[in-house]
Structure formats: structure tokens, C-alpha cells
Amino acid sequence: MRTVEHLSGHRPVWLRVVVSPGAGRIRLLPPLRFAEGHELVEAGQAVARLIHGDRETEIVAPVSGRVSSVMALDGEPVIAGQPVMAIEPEAEPTS
């Protein structure tokens, strides 16, 4: 059987997209860790805040991994479900 890795020479990359839980303004939080020039996050780590009037909601990383892409600008208005960030999850340990 030929796999994607076999055909392309690269392993597939799976991303988890973090979306805004509601409408408001996004405030990106500063990174806590870097490795080899990439921001690393832990599952449950707050990566942004959604501000709507006098309410703030933390947006957390669903998985541990490397931030692959930030898709919202700090201070930008966002809507519910709008992608904010993509995270490449840490590799599964091999047994």
C-alpha cells in the first residue's frame, strides 16, 4: 500500500484550529515558550482573550504543540467560529 508519505516524501501534518467562541475583539496573549524559533503551547494554556463589552473569555489551546499559524490580528474584531490560530499537535509517542 502506498501512503501519502511514500508518494510525496513528506509525512502529513495534522493541525488543530482554535476558533473564537463568540463575537468580540481578540487579544492575543504573549508566548510562554519558544523552541527553534517556534511558539510552543500546552493543552489548556490561554492563548488569547475574547473581549465583548465588559466581559472577557479566555481562549485555550486544545492540544499541546507548535503554533503553526496565527489567523487573527491582535485587537481585530472576530465572529463566533472564526479561526484564530492553528496548532500542530506534538507527535504521538511510538511504542
**Over the stretch 76-92, which tens digit does the pLDDT of each residue have?**
999 999 999 999 998 65
Phi, psi of 94, deg, nearest 5: -90, 140
> Left if phi > 0, otherwise alpha if psi is -120 to 50, otherwise beta: which for 3?
beta
Say if CB 82 and CB 48 are below 8 A apart. Answer: no
Q: Which fold has domain 4-89?
A: OB fold (Dihydrolipoamide Acetyltransferase, E2P) (2.40.50)
pTM, full prediction: 0.79
Cβ within 8 Å of residue 91, ≥6 positions away: none
* Mean model confidence pLDDT for the chain: 87
DSSP 7: H
